[in-house]
Amino acid sequence: MNTVPNGILLVDKAEGWTSHDVVAKARRALGTRKVGHAGTLDPMATGLLTLGAGPATRLLTHLVGLDKTYTATIRLGAATVTDDREGDVLGVADAASIRAVEGDPAAIRDAIAALTGPIEQAPSAVSAIKVDGKRAYDLVRAGEQVELKKRPVTVHSFEAEDPRLVAVHGLDGGDVPVEVLDIDVVVSCSSGTYIRALARDLGEALGVGGHLTALRRTDVGPFSVVDATSNEQLAAGVVDPTCLLDPAAVAARLFPVLVLSEQQEIDLGHGKRLEIDETQPLSDGTDRAKLAAAIAPSGRLVGLIEVKNGRTRVVTNFPTAEGGATA
């Protein structure tokens, strides 16, 4: 019986590729249709995309909500429809306004501080969020005005380098270069935060408009882009085995671990609730967890379980890569 690929694949997505493109290439490279991803990246963006293959796709639900870290370049001085460089320009600030912002670093720091911590953020209008059953970006492309409701997000840190004055040709549709300010930033945030919206809101707060010109996701929870396979390798049908992470190793980085006995592995596989006591604590030393990784003596991830008062309940079970019935 052929073994189905089973793991979490880290990919360094290249610019111009959609997340669907990456999944399609991964399916060919891994030789399986059972591949999914946890959290999309815009075609303009680069960086870490987390994919699941085989039974490990069941872990993707638990990766979607992890915190993210991005590096980005914000351009102050022009607003766009999409809040990034791929959208039509809505307006350009005059040179005097740009110079005033450049000469007031305290105002930039204050505006960034106001966008740090727990905030209410309106997602970018050109997004995959549904409005009355339709994607927001489809409504915008159809010429409709879309204003999405603000939602709570958390920006854990928003670090910015000194702004640099640059001259950009064609930004306002004319032949004369337009002066704008570019700021390189590093943002660590909760899932669901739009970095494009941060650029837009920073520009609005400073009165000059703003949008993204570059975006790269460097981290998803404990996983880093430095450990990811490249698009080029994926396109060539090559998957670095070190970039296909074992499901048990991934779960152990996210949740407390319960090491099962052989009999407990069998019982959990049959859907039975387990009784554990102080002689078999979770790896964090407790006897309760909303989610814990139940790992067999062989090192295989059997399931994600809830542990309460020494009793277990299966939340997500994981079949073997060969497709046998398990927990």
DSSP 54-107: GGGGGGHHHHTTS-EEEEEEEEETEEETTSBTTSPEEEE--HHHHHHHHT-HHH
As annotated, the active-site residues are: 42
Q: How far is CA 312 from CA 52, 105, 211, 301, in A?
A: 26, 55, 48, 15
Separation between Cα atoms, residue 140 and residue 121, nearest integer Å: 19
Q: What is the rounded distance in angstroms from the CA atom of residue 201 to the CA atom of residue 124?
A: 10
Element housing 10 (H / E): strand 7-13
Single-letter residue type at 68: K
Q: For the chain, what is the radius of gyration of the CA atoms?
A: 23
Q: β-strands 78-80, 68-76: how paired?
A: unpaired
Note whether 229 and 8 are within 8 A (CB): no
